């Protein structure tokens, strides 16, 4: 069972944040067995080089503050944020007694997680073993297809 609570959107939420976090929330919701809530998101600074800071909370109570600096390159920011969220997701899975691998490499099940990186100005999940691009970040799908697609 998984559940990703949409981040709280207040007047201070910056569009950059939504753009960067949306694909990662999608991948978490599609493929991560642990559940999270993201809250206390704060846009810090006013310039182009500003960043965002948010707290990602696991359902068992663990929480971690994640800060990301906006580089001006969205693909880089998405990969950077995915890498940080991956740490939290890995911890959460371990806490729940599940395999602490997220997102699991579909080509090598049971061995390793994918690596968040940038290839040709696209944020992608890469297999760290054969360096193959598995999917663009934000396009992972549930490995166990569900009938309920509404």
Sites of contact with Zn ion (CB under 5 A): 105, 107-108, 127, 129
Name the nearest CA neighbour of 66 among 78, 56, 76.
56
Beta pairing class for 115-119 and 63-69: unpaired
- Please identify, using beta-carbon distances, which residue of 80 and 104 lies nearer to Zn ion: 104
By C-beta, is 65 or 108 nearer to Zn ion?
108
> Least distance from C-beta 6 to Zn ion, angstroms?
31
Q: Which is nearer to Zn ion, 41 or 113 (CB)?
A: 113
Which tokens belong to 145?
Answer: 């297809």
Report yes or no: 101 and 108 within 8 Å, Cβ to Cβ.
no
CB of 130 to Zn ion, least distance (A): 6
How far apart are CB 120 and Zn ion at their closest, in Å?
20
Which helix or strand (DSSP H or E) is residue 34 part of? none
Provide the minimum distance between the beta carbon of 106 and Zn ion in the complex, in angstroms, as a whole number: 8
List strand residue ranges (DSSP E) for 6-50, in order: 36-44
Name the residue nearer to Zn ion (CB basis): 39 or 131: 131
């Amino acid at each position: 069972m998984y559940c990703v609570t949409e981040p709280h959107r207040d007047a201070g939420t910056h569009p950059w944040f939504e753009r960067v976090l949306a694909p990662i929330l999608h991948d978490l919701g599609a493929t991560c067995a642990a559940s999270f809530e993201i809250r206390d998101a704060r846009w810090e600074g006013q310039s182009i080089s500003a960043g965002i800071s948010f707290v990602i909370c696991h359902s068992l109570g663990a929480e971690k503050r994640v800060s990301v600096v906006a580089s001006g390159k969205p693909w880089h920011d998405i990969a950077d944020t995915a890498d940080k969220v991956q740490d939290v997701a890995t911890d959460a899975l371990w806490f729940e007694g599940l395999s602490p691998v997220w997102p699991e490499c579909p080509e090598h099940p049971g061995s390793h997680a994918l690596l968040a990186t940038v290839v040709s100005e696209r944020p992608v999940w890469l297999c760290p073993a054969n360096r193959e691009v598995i999917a663009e970040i934000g396009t992972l799908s549930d490995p166990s297809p569900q009938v309920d697609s509404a």
